Structure 1
Amino acid sequence: MESTIQKIRPSARILRAIGQDLIKDTYAAIVELVKNAYDADSPDVVVRFVYIEEKKRLLIRLEDHGHGMNFDTVVNKWLVPATDDKLKRKRSEKGRVLQGRKGIGRFAASILGERILLETNQTGATTSLILDMEELEGKNYLDELNLDVSVEENSKEKGTVIEIEKDYVTAEDVRSIWTQKQLHKLLVELRTLISPEEVHKGASERGFDIQYDSFDIRLIFENFPLNEFSNREIKIEPFPVLDLYDYRISGTVDVEGNAVLEYRNQNIPSLPPEPIRLKIKLGPDNEMDYPGNVYIDLRVYDRDPDSIDHIIKRGLKDPSTGEYVGKNEAKRILDEHYGVGIFRGQFRVRPYGEQSFDWLDLDKQRVQNPSFKLGHNQLIGFVYILQEEESGLKEKSARDGLVENKAYYGLVHEVSRIINQLEVRRFDYRDKTKKGGREKSINDVIASLFDFEEIGTKIDHGLKQLNISPDQRRSVGKVVNDALANEKQKKAAIETRIRDTIAIYQGQATLGKITHVLLHEGRKHIKYLTETVPRIVKWSAEASEKNNPDLLEKLEDRSGKIAAHAKGLSDLFKKIEPLARTKRSPAKQFNLQSILENSFGIFSAELTELNIVHEIASEASEPIVTANEMDLITVFSNLIENSVYWLKHKSTDSRKIHATIYYDNQILTVEYRDNGPGFQGENLDLMFEPGYSMKPDGTGLGLALAGEAMSRIGGNIEAKHSDDGAVFMIVFKGEN
């Protein structure tokens, strides 16, 4: 048996295979070359498309101003496929985390054209070569190709130019290779390639160190045969909608799954962010590992027409005109940028973050529960992971994502759990603000229970269907209507009793809502009485034994204060007594100014503590209203409680509530306003709907109770638009 020593010889087509089979598309090829410019410590890169019509040639040229390469680096590293140079170095000379660790990205250029020209400057010399892919195809093995690598001494600045030539292409060919849609896709690819500086800053503030080094990308078109891009320069800017989100959750997850997060709802910008701490446990089946330290920033954009309007109003403008964009343009922008990207260092790992890749299966889950679950097209997200050694997350050689190992499934699990935290809070807000529609008021429901007209109409319709003659229908209709009218009269007392019972419960509900105020107000009186009475007993015993003028003076002083605090308690209970009644009293005449003063009195301690100034101005000499006292106090105590809540979240110390009483065409009216954050959004007509609330922990009862009480009084209450706080108009239409 004979044996010989042989060598493995790579086929000449291996370079084409890297470009066409591994890198797969033109966008990825350009992205790989842009990453190489970053690895070279360049502050920027220019991607230039040039069409030379007389030569029928398309040039794609990438220019950087990095450290360049010398002859040795070009021959022994750049020309070596799969070199481990960057894998070993890990960081550039200036400390950037190197992106091209596989050593094949530069050969992606072969997908863009037939010839690759390299020209690189370093230390006073230019090294250049031409790699002709068509010539390479005529060879069997890679080492059969002889390359002319030239070196020329000069004083050019450092940097590298890679130019890819594609010959024999007409203008029509270019338009079919690079369509308008494909160029827009390239813009989006480059725009989403590097994480926005704002997100990086947010991560740094949370203690998650993401290296961020300024790196500008420009796209230049020269004589390009497509009108929109004919002769145009585009600076790649970050996401135009990034700050215009509806909801956002962001924060860190450590190596043991401990999440420290922050939730924001931009529909209520005056509220502070909600802190969330969460322990994310992995499944029991041992199919996941924690993926190291992770930083997550997820932003949600609702897609219903009202939400699109709000996104536009937050500042979505056309950069060229400065004008607000229309709804269709806003939807197009969202369609171009949605997706949850995974970033390693400063760069996105493809294809995560692309519209066509729903790696979290959001749309599949949303089918089961569309009102609760978020869709893929509602999210713009950033998930930052560490290097392979620290995270266990490895990139595939084909540049098509991460290896789906235990660490990868752990990452998917962590991000999904955090999205669920956001979904719960978003659903709660949308439910409270009646994004899905409104309910009938309790008064409407009661009225419908005792309205028999619809029954009469249905009976008449049924008789008509049976071909009963008009005369017979009229006779039957009279009998039915008389019976229904009689029944309605009998039920009138029951209807009144139901309404009165509900009114009593609503008054008691108002009392329950302000329990914290009552405790706060009453505690100071009770504390003083509790501490002082034993002292008075002691001093009285001492005074009975001997005549002590100082002791008698103390007794007199403390007795007066006890009387004052006892009166304070008595006054407090008098103010709230109408809300605690178990039987509804008949309507009486009340002075509206006195009712307002009593209502503010319930909150006096809290108003003082928060430095809230309240004023009541009456332009009516005798503002008399005929109503039930419980209803009046229900209206104003709920308005004041609402103002106190929002003024508490106002950053400035100037906090005011102002009520003006006046007659408008002989109709008694109160304009009630505060200088808090005011109403967010366009939902003023829903303000008095049961369950509607803009407070994160709100019940949606307060203003609904006020609205129901005004209906019983025979008036109405409306929320009005204002640039300075909340404004309510309370109109009394009864006998006043």
Structure 2
Amino acid sequence: MTVESDSPQGKALRPRARIMRTLGEELISSEVVAVIELVKNSYDAEAGYVSIRFDGKLEVGEGSVSIEDDGHGMSLTVVEGSWMEPATNNKKVQRSSHILKRRFLGEKGVGRFAAARLATDLELTTRALESDKEVYAYFDWSQFDNEDAYLDQILILAEERVPQEFVRGRTRPFDAPGPHGDLRRDGSHGTLLKMNGLKRAWGDKEVYSLKKSLSRLISPFDGEKGFKIFIQLPGDYAEQPRELEPPEVLKYPHYTLSGRVDKHGDFEFRAELHASSIVEAFTGKLVNSDVKDRGVVEFVDGKGGRPLVCGPFSFNILVWDRDQLDNIDQKLGTGIHDIRRDLDSIAGVSIFRDGFRVLPYGEAENDWLKLDIRRVQNPTMRLSNNQITGYVKIGADENPLLKDQSNREGLDNNSAYSELQEIIRLALSKLESLRFRDKKSAGADDASRKSDGALLAVPDTAKLRQLISTGADSAETLHLFDETTKAWENQVGRIREVLSRYHSLATLGQLVDKVVHDGRQPLSTIQTQSSLLIESLSKALKKLDGSSECGKYLEGIHARLLRVKDAAGLIDLVLKRIEPLGGRKKGRPTKVYINEIIKNAFSHFQADIESLGINVTLPAADDLIQVDAHELQEVLINLIANSVYWLSNVPKGQRAILVQCTRPAPRELDIIFADSGPGVSKGNKSAIFEPYFSTKPDGVGLGLVIAGEMIRDYYNGSLELLNSGPLPGAVFRIKLRKRV
């Protein structure tokens, strides 16, 4: 770019011609995106259909792609003015179309230059509504490759002519939406872009990607019914273009999740389990937590937190169990392999703005909700990206902060986008909890469920022993033997599943040990040396005049060293707090004060407790017991972490945790742990001690399982959820009967 004299007062910018190549080829990230941008232009032009046609050999420098629509078309004035003007603001001045009132999808005025990404030249033919002339223009994109040429030196050939392409009464070669007022759909208006000399080869992979993206461009759930997309490829046996539609598998989901969130954060979610005829509705209020990094929370009552900024939106999500697709095969008869392929093609949650899809959300490789990471952490309960398809419906006017990045590939990664992610995951967690409980209920007749539910419970062999001892009928004995064997196999399977997670925790414990061990030596050096320096500086300052330049300089160093020493003290405190969570071998129970164990456990969460304003009431008496302090602290940390999480969902001033200790009998101890949070719903009470069950959007579901197993195995005790207690939220009782 250079400058030219424009007036005595200043200079005018004069861009090089290659800026058009930049707009067309660098702002548009791929050929598929380029086609979609041009399809969006057809939608904005109030077209009833758009047809994409490939001709010739789809190799570099050969073949062509044409995009035709029956929109309102353009006059010569519009072509020479608005259409050929980069970054025109027409669609910002007027945000919706004249007749159909469609919200414009393109606002940056660069979408049309996607044509430069696709081919070396462009033939534009267009006829405006009620015009008796047709406009023809020719663009040779190679002109813009001239490094020495300026943009104002490039000539575009455009002329009016007698209509040749758009002639009234022309029969459409395929079914398109009917007339709408002045838009007669009679062939007398529209736009045709013919791009010759392809810049990239189109193989099977690229064509498949384009068809998949176009089939999902309009929401299949409630999209624009007056706009159809057709495609025709070289070698197609059908003479007419084929309409792109989503696969029929969408009609047969196993689970459905829908919902809406208004501008105030009030939400309504609805989860449906079709095979079980279970429908559950959820309502409440969402706010952004007043705790740093806590994000969106479901507020139970009153006012609190910060209002959402993502704006109102709705969503609809379909879910499948991919190992149970026989019902779909019953309907379609295409085979499980093809059904899974169709599910792969539509996998993911798309975002639709004003009825049109925002790329790349919903692409199989674009797991924008990070569902696969959640599933790795909790494979039993969480859904993966390839199990779901759906849409999130937003609007440009209603959701101004959910705006495009400049390359048209996704939304700006701002606070509104983060809120949207968190809310969809929160809604999914409600369906996941319901699905988990239903699967558990469906398997209630399994032999593995005849035990007391404990992970390490031994299947009952008493009946088998009795039959053998009495010499009962061999068939009956064999049947009972098979049932008992199956119960053992199921129990071993459960143990293996949980042990795989415990192994990860054991590795984490070893890492904690290494961090503590390796961190203590340099930390000790920092503490010792800073203390010695502070002592030396204090002596020097006593000898110097504090008002001298040197004295002031040393006072500054002294103050900074004090801050270093304080910071080292904080690091030392953190290491002491995480040391009990390491992988060291547990020791024998020792005599300790239970109130000190509880205090130490709460110290891990001091910052969260203060920021949330939680009123904590702990036992004050020095009650001497005999336990492994580190084991019990691990149990308490799990309970505290859950309470701190859920207490952010209730108003400030109503957040409380209460811990009480009693001795119901000699060598026994009861610990009551209660909070004022939302509590555990009736439907979830039987599931919270199951491995991997969690109502947190990103919960792993092992905290209570581990805590319960430790209490049961080490102390012959129990961890119970009580129906009521001293506070209105969740109330747990830890009962220790051994080693106390």
TM-score by length of 2: 0.53
Alignment of 1:189 with 2:201, yes or no, is no
**Matching residue of 1:302:** 321
Q: Deviations over 1:648-681 (max 9, x none)?
A: xxxxxxxxxxxxxxxxxxxxxxxxxxxxxxxxxx
CA contact (8 A) 1:194 1:346 kept: yes
**Residues 54 and 182 (structure 1 numbering): CA distance in 2 closer, same or farther, change over 3 Å?**
closer
Q: Quick one: distance in 1 between partners of 2:84 and 2:138?
A: 11
Q: Quick one: distance in 2 between partners of 1:10 and 1:436?
A: 76
Alignment of 1:566-577 (within 5 A): none
**Matching residue of 1:264:** 272
Residue 392 of structure 1 and its aligned partner are, at CA, apart by 2.1
**Matching residue of 2:652:** none
CA contact (8 A) 1:116 1:163 kept: yes
**Matching residue of 2:412:** 403
Aligned length: 424
Residue 273 of structure 1 and its aligned partner are, at CA, apart by 3.2
SS in 2 for 1:373: coil
1:98 partner amino acid: F
**Matching residue of 2:91:** 86
Alignment of 1:514-553 (within 5 A): none
Residue 214 of structure 1 and its aligned partner are, at CA, apart by 1.1
Residue 280 of structure 1 and its aligned partner are, at CA, apart by 2.2
1:100 partner amino acid: G
SS in 2 for 1:135: helix
Q: Which of the numbers 129, 135, 144 marks the counterpart of 2:137?
A: 129
**Matching residue of 1:273:** 279
Residue 446 of structure 1 and its aligned partner are, at CA, apart by 7.7
**Matching residue of 1:394:** 403
2:289 partner amino acid: G
**Residues 62 and 436 (structure 1 numbering): CA distance in 2 closer, same or farther, change over 3 Å?**
farther
Q: Which of the numbers 97, 118, 121 marks the counterpart of 1:115?
A: 121
Alignment of 1:241 with 2:249, yes or no, is yes
Alignment of 1:199 with 2:222, yes or no, is yes
Q: Which of the numbers 305, 308, 311 marks the counterpart of 2:328?
A: 311
Identity %: 31
**Matching residue of 2:355:** 346
SS in 2 for 1:189: helix
Alignment of 1:164 with 2:195, yes or no, is yes
Residue 374 of structure 1 and its aligned partner are, at CA, apart by 0.8
Alignment of 1:30 with 2:54, yes or no, is no
Alignment of 1:380 with 2:389, yes or no, is yes
**Matching residue of 1:47:** 52
**Residues 53 and 61 (structure 1 numbering): CA distance in 2 closer, same or farther, change over 3 Å?**
closer
Q: Quick one: distance in 2 between partners of 1:158 and 1:55?
A: 32
Q: Quick one: distance in 2 between partners of 1:100 and 1:423?
A: 37
CA contact (8 A) 1:430 1:436 kept: no
SS in 2 for 1:328: helix
Alignment of 1:18 with 2:27, yes or no, is no
- RMSD, aligned α-carbons: 3.3
Q: Quick one: distance in 2 between partners of 1:220 and 1:60?
A: 10
Q: Quick one: distance in 2 between partners of 1:49 and 1:438?
A: 60
Q: Which of the numbers 426, 436, 442 marks the counterpart of 1:417?
A: 426
CA contact (8 A) 1:11 1:140 kept: yes
CA contact (8 A) 1:256 1:290 kept: no
**Residues 147 and 275 (structure 1 numbering): CA distance in 2 closer, same or farther, change over 3 Å?**
same
Q: Quick one: distance in 1 between partners of 2:423 and 2:123?
A: 45
Q: Which of the numbers 336, 339, 342 marks the counterpart of 1:333?
A: 342
Q: Deviations over 1:5-30 (max 9, x none)?
A: 32222221222222321111111111
Q: Quick one: distance in 2 between partners of 1:333 and 1:55?
A: 30
Residue 73 of structure 1 and its aligned partner are, at CA, apart by 0.6
Q: Quick one: distance in 1 between partners of 2:150 and 2:341?
A: 48
Q: Comparing 135-144 with 440-449, which one deviates more in the overlay?
A: 440-449
CA contact (8 A) 1:385 1:391 kept: no
Q: Quick one: distance in 2 between partners of 1:279 and 1:243?
A: 31
**Residues 276 and 442 (structure 1 numbering): CA distance in 2 closer, same or farther, change over 3 Å?**
closer
Q: Deviations over 1:611-654 (max 9, x none)?
A: xxxxxxxxxxxxxxxxxxxxxxxxxxxxxxxxxxxxxxxxxxxx
The runs of 5 or more residues in structure 1 that have no matched partner are: 201-211, 318-323, 454-483, 491-498, 500-690, 692-736
Q: Quick one: distance in 1 between partners of 2:279 and 2:464?
A: 48
Q: Deviations over 1:663-717 (max 9, x none)?
A: xxxxxxxxxxxxxxxxxxxxxxxxxxxx9xxxxxxxxxxxxxxxxxxxxxxxxxx
SS in 2 for 1:100: coil
CA contact (8 A) 2:58 2:202 kept: no
* Structure exhibiting the larger radius of gyration computed from Cα positions: 1
CA contact (8 A) 1:248 1:265 kept: yes
Q: Quick one: distance in 2 between partners of 1:180 and 1:251?
A: 38
Residue 389 of structure 1 and its aligned partner are, at CA, apart by 5.7
SS in 2 for 1:36: helix
Q: Quick one: distance in 2 between partners of 1:82 and 1:446?
A: 72
Alignment of 1:75 with 2:54, yes or no, is no
**Matching residue of 1:219:** 231
2:97 partner amino acid: S
**Matching residue of 1:427:** 436
CA contact (8 A) 2:257 2:272 kept: yes
CA contact (8 A) 2:311 2:398 kept: no
SS in 2 for 1:140: coil
2:241 partner amino acid: E
Q: Quick one: distance in 1 between partners of 2:23 and 2:395?
A: 26
Q: Quick one: distance in 2 between partners of 1:386 and 1:64?
A: 24
Alignment of 1:357 with 2:366, yes or no, is yes
**Matching residue of 1:506:** none
CA contact (8 A) 1:257 1:290 kept: no
SS in 2 for 1:103: coil
CA contact (8 A) 1:290 1:411 kept: no
**Matching residue of 1:178:** 202
Q: Comparing 228-237 with 248-257, which one deviates more in the overlay?
A: 228-237
SS in 2 for 1:241: helix
Alignment of 1:48-63 (within 5 A): 48-51=53-56, 57-63=62-68
**Matching residue of 1:291:** 310
Q: Deviations over 1:225-277 (max 9, x none)?
A: xxx78977321113422221111111211112211122111113xx3632221
**Residues 55 and 283 (structure 1 numbering): CA distance in 2 closer, same or farther, change over 3 Å?**
closer
**Residues 280 and 345 (structure 1 numbering): CA distance in 2 closer, same or farther, change over 3 Å?**
same
**Matching residue of 1:142:** 151
**Residues 448 and 232 (structure 1 numbering): CA distance in 2 closer, same or farther, change over 3 Å?**
farther
Q: Deviations over 1:426-478 (max 9, x none)?
A: 1111222239976265799887246569xxxxxxxxxxxxxxxxxxxxxxxxx
Q: Quick one: distance in 2 between partners of 1:195 and 1:435?
A: 39
2:118 partner amino acid: L
CA contact (8 A) 2:258 2:269 kept: yes
Residue 310 of structure 1 and its aligned partner are, at CA, apart by 2.5
Residue 187 of structure 1 and its aligned partner are, at CA, apart by 0.9
CA contact (8 A) 2:310 2:417 kept: yes
**Residues 68 and 440 (structure 1 numbering): CA distance in 2 closer, same or farther, change over 3 Å?**
closer
